[in-house]
Structure formats: C-alpha cells, structure tokens
Amino acid sequence: MQVNQRYDILPTMIPVSIYIHIPFCVHRCAYCDFNTYAGMEKWIPAYTEALCREIAVVSEAAPEGISVQTIFFGGGTPSYLSASLLNKVLHTVRSHFQVMEKAEISLEANPGTVEPHLFEELREAGFNRLSIGMQSAIPKELKFLTRIHTVEDVQNSVIQARKAGFQNINLDLIFGIPGQTIQTWKNSLEFALSLQPEHVSLYSLTVEEGTPLNHWVEEGKISMPSDDDAAELYEYSMDAMAEAGYLQYEISNWAKQDLNGDWLMCRHNLQYWRYLPYLGFGAGSHGFFENTRISNVLGIPEYINRIKSLSSHQFPASAAVDQILILDRQEQMKEFMMVGLRLTHEGVSLLEFYHRFGVSLLEVFGKEIEFLLARGLIEWFNENKRLRLTKRGKLLGNQVFLYFV
C-alpha cells in the first residue's frame, strides 16, 4: 500500500508527567506483584520525608523549562496515607516544579481504606481525579482476590467522592477470575456502569511469579480460565462499553465524554503510551526522560537511607536509583511501536514516528507491518497516516507487540 511520505514539523516542547509511588497497604492481595508492603506503617512518616527530599533534589538538577501536566499517586494504597501527608507531597511538587494550571492530579484509592472526610480533604489539596479499585461486584470473587472491601464500600466511596466534588472517577475491574462466568462479569460491569464513572479500566487477571495466586496454580489448587474464555469476556466488554457510550482508547481503558464533548481519557497514562517523558519518585518507581530509563530501589528502608545519603546523580536519577538504562535509537523505535499500538483509537502516527526518529516507519518496520496487515491484526486509518490494532488485534495484542520488541 502506498503511503504519503511527506511530513510536517511537530512542536518540540512537551510537558512531563510525575508518578509518585506509595508502597503501603493494609493487606497485600493474592494476585498482586507490585512493589507494595503490608505491616510497615511505622515507616510512613520517614518515607514521606524521603519522597519530598527526592522531589526537591531531582528538581534542582532538572533542565529549565520543564512543566508538569499530570501527577499520579499510585501504589500500593495511596489513600492509606492521611490527607495531610498526601497534601505535603503534592505541595512539594508544586513548590519545586512548574505545575500547569489545569494539570490532572490523580490518586488511587482502595474503597476499603477510605474515610468519607478524606475525599473532601483531597479535593481541597488539589486532587481532581480518583481511581478506585473496585475489581468485582461479586462477593465470592472479591473473596478469592483477597480484597478487603465490599461492593457497598465501592458504592459509598463513589457517593462520597461525588459529594466532595470529584467529577473524574475511574473504576478498575478484573476479568478472567477462576469461577467467573459471563453472567457474573456482566453483573460486575452493570454495577460499575450504574455508578456512572467517567473512566473504566478492565484488566485480565494474570498469574505473576511469586504471588500466592501463582503458588495456588502451581499446587493445582485452582485452574485459570482458558485464553478462549478470557477472550469471550473481553469481547463482551468491548461491545457493552461501546453500547454504554464509552470510547475504548487503549487496550484496557475506556472513557466517557464530559459536558464539553471532550473524552475523559487518563492524561497521565497517555503520557506513557505516547512515549513521552515522565519522572518517578518513591521506592520502586520508574522514570523516562529523553533516552534514559531509571528505576529506584524497591525496599522502603533502603529507599529512605539512600535519600538520606544526599549523594548526587545526573538528572533524572536521584540517590535512590537502582538501575539506569540508556536506550539506543533502535530500542526507542521498538518501544515507541509497542506502547503506541496499545492506543486502540489513535494508534501510531507516521508523522510522529518520522519527527521522533528522522526515518520512515515503513523503512524500519515495513516487513512486520505487512505481515500483521495480511493477518488482519492491524489496519491503516486516517488516510493511511496511522496504524492501529483491529478488533482481532486487540485480542492478540501481546502477540502483535512481539513483532516489534
């Protein structure tokens, strides 16, 4: 297929995003392999101080002109911290970085750990988006996942958040749970949609090494649904979410329109999928700036001690850095394709690829693209200026990505 090879020049000034990791949990769920810890509450004050110190030190080494368009508090369970501590960290970011006036400021919340007054205090502090870990509306499934909240907790959290003024709420749900049927999944989706969230994230349950779920599977105590069963639930989700008026803009994410007609996509996660720079703060956090990827040490005490050392590192790293990876041009092009194809609505732009790397997308990945086009896994759209996954490609996304990575 012939594609227009003329390109324009795109703007070069792109704001960064900031991710802040809160690794504390009341209880660690059986399927979770994130960098989270239960029973370490005594470290919260010192950890908060270390976070603020890391933010300040990295900002001092940052190049001029950086502005922040999104801030995301993830975990772990960020809502486990008091509003005053969360406000302290957010205030530190605002004091040391130029945060845009209409920045998206998100916080992950576990409905089993949130007191009603917290939502009002979060709004007063400047948070304007919540991501609530609902996971399921079926008590039996919540019990299997070892979640500590109830369905009523989810409903109450949304109600209290609305009263506090939150107009941008995401609900996380999980499909592919052992014993889950199309009917129980339908019930969970219907309950979630009845709460009228602006955004919904639907994730397939995966068995991660070292988790209790992994041990249960290896010991034969449970069996996971087949790929065909999980695909059936995912296909149902795509149809049901579209019928409910949500746009699927990423493999696992759907958004509604606001009163102005704008789709309320998660702007923070778009930064990742569009292969744009972000800074990570906290134990186990990751950052990406220009051609450099960094990751911090995982352990809470080690992270705190590293930050106390005040040793200097080149931006975007801090004293807590564990790994620094310098990506060559070929690696960057591969990653650009992998994350960009996750964007099921906008896909990968030929213009943007050329602007980033100074070479045609077809020149670099022509064979891979032709192969995937022939198998109906990707498609051209927007007058053949963009590539995206087909509906079948969404079901086999990981296989598609392997052709580029």
Q: Rounded mean pLDDT of 259-265?
A: 94
Q: How many CB atoms within 10 Å of residue 288?
A: 22
Q: What is the pLDDT of residue 13?
A: 53
Q: How many CB atoms within 10 Å of residue 381?
A: 13
Would the pLDDT of 180 be above 80? Answer: yes
Q: What is the pLDDT of residue 267?
A: 98
Q: Are strands 98-109 and 67-75 parallel, antiparallel or unpaired?
A: parallel
What values do phi and psi take at 136, rounded to 5? -165, 155
Q: What is the pLDDT of residue 243?
A: 97
Residue 260 CB contacts under 8 Å (≥ 6 apart), including other chains: none
For the chain, the average pLDDT equals: 93
Better pLDDT: 343 or 9: 343
- Residue 323: pLDDT band with limits 50, 70, 90: very high
Q: How many CB atoms within 10 Å of residue 302?
A: 14
Would the pLDDT of 340 be above 80? Answer: yes
- Residue 333: pLDDT band with limits 50, 70, 90: very high
CA distance 392 to 382: 19
Residue 367 CB contacts under 8 Å (≥ 6 apart), including other chains: none
CA distance 168 to 131: 9
Minimal CA–CA distance to 277: which of 58, 75, 109? 58
Question: Going from the N-terminus, what domains does the chain have, and what CATH number goes with each?
Answer: 16-272 (3.20.20.70), 333-402 (1.10.10)
List the structure tokens of 316: 């975007």
- HSE, CB side, 13 Å, CA atoms: give it for residue 355: 13
Show the beta-strand stretches assigned E in 147-231: 169-175, 199-204
CA distance 51 to 304: 8
Angle, helices 83-96 vs 44-61, to 10°: value is: 10
Q: Rounded mean pLDDT of 215-223?
A: 92
- Phi/psi-derived region of residue 128, left when phi > 0, alpha when psi is between -120 and 50, beta in every other case: alpha
CA distance 395 to 223: 21
- For the chain, the C-alpha Rg in angstroms (whole number) is 21
Residue 196 CB contacts under 8 Å (≥ 6 apart), including other chains: none
CA distance 270 to 366: 26
Minimal CA–CA distance to 66: which of 313, 315, 367, 348? 315
First-to-final CA distance of the chain: 24
Q: How many CB atoms within 10 Å of residue 163?
A: 12
pLDDT in tens, 2-53: 333 322 333 445 699 999 999 999 888 989 989 999 999 999 999 999 999 9
pLDDT in tens, 105-164: 999 999 988 888 899 999 999 999 999 999 999 999 999 999 999 999 999 999 999 999
pTM for the full predicted model: 0.94
CB 391 within 8 A of CB 238: yes
Would the pLDDT of 249 be above 70? Answer: yes
DSSP category for residue 198: S
List the structure tokens of 101: 């006036």
Q: 107: part of which helix (H) or strand (E)?
A: strand 98-109
Minimal CA–CA distance to 107: which of 33, 152, 166? 166
